């Protein structure tokens, strides 16, 4: 069977404001339209006992705040008491766990008081195992010590998983195989590009087979044109150009070759 992860756009109606009873937004903060659509659909699916979903947002659209708002929804619906956020790199772990930014996120969405910590070593994690939110890397979670320690957290109470940048998490890879051992009651996979060049399936990503091809099924997807129409959401990209000079050398004579010829 030919298995390919192909996009299946969902689309959105811009300006459609959806009320979420569990979340009390504090102005001047406001959810983006796609975030509201995803959160509304997630609540409906969780109530239908459909617990594993994919959210596709273009870079800069706000996956981080969507992740935590999803958890607040799941807590309210009694689908999860705890949360583990998985990221592929240490800098993303630190970004999620930035005290000032995270406090601002919780305040903006009217979240109850929540505790959190990072898990990058047993010494740090085990003494903070009572936290509401654990933020860790795929590397630690799939390593020998992390994979043995995290079940003590996720098995005690209902636990939600968030897989950020899930395109790094191949279903056949060692990370996914190890994380599959960790108990959880629901999950949200986040990505701007939920595909892999080798066309392998992604862990935690719903899909369907059509004409012997694998299509990912996003609960909601914000396309680039939607994001541009909404405006003021894309990250700025800085490019640093480094000057360099190339020397060509004849491998037999070792003489330099004039690159102008």
Q: Are 73 and 238 in contact (CB under 8 A)?
A: no
Percent of the chain with pLDDT over 90: 55
Within 10 Å of residue 159's Cβ, how many Cβ atoms?
23
Instruction: Residues 33-257: name the CATH superfamily.
Output: Tandem AAA-ATPase domain (3.40.50.10810)
The domains of the chain are located at 33-257
Which residues lie closer than 8 Å to 52 by C-beta, 6 or more apart?
186, 187, 189, 204, 206
d(CA 3, CA 5): 7
- So what's the pLDDT on residue 231? 78
Q: Give 29-70 pLDDT, tens digit per residue.
A: 989 999 999 999 999 999 999 999 999 999 889 999 999 999
The closest alpha carbon to 195, from 216, 180, 225, belongs to: 216
Q: Give 151-195 pLDDT, tens digit per residue.
A: 988 999 999 999 999 999 988 889 999 999 999 999 999 999 888
pTM attached to this predicted model:
0.81
Backbone CA torsion sign across 40, 204, 195, 234: positive
């Amino acid at each position: 069977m030919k298995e390919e992860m192909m996009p299946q756009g969902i689309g959105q109606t811009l300006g459609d404001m959806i009320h979420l009873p569990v979340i009390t937004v504090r102005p001047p903060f406001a959810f983006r339209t796609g975030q509201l659509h995803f959160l509304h659909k997630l609540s409906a699916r969780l109530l239908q006992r459909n617990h594993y979903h994919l959210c596709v947002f273009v870079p800069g659209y706000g996956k981080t705040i969507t992740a935590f708002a999803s958890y607040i929804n799941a807590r309210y619906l009694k689908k999860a008491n705890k949360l583990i956020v998985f990221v592929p790199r240490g800098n993303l772990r630190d970004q999620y766990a930035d005290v000032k930014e995270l406090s601002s996120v919780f305040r903006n969405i009217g979240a109850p008081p929540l505790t959190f910590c990072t898990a990058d070593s047993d010494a740090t994690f085990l003494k903070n195992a009572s936290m509401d939110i654990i933020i860790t890397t795929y590397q630690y979670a799939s390593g020998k010590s992390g994979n043995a320690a995290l079940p003590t957290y996720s098995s005690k109470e209902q636990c939600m998983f968030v897989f950020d940048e899930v395109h790094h998490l191949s279903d056949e890879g060692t990370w996914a195989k190890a994380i599959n051992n960790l108990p959880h009651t629901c999950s949200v996979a986040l990505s701007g590009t939920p595909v892999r060049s080798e066309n392998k399936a992604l862990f935690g990503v719903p899909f369907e087979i059509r004409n012997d091809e694998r299509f990912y099924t996003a609960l909601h997807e914000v396309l680039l044109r939607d994001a541009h129409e909404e405006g003021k959401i894309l990250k700025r990209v800085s490019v640093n150009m480094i000057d360099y000079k190339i020397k060509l050398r004849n491998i037999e004579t070792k003489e330099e070759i004039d690159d102008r010829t």
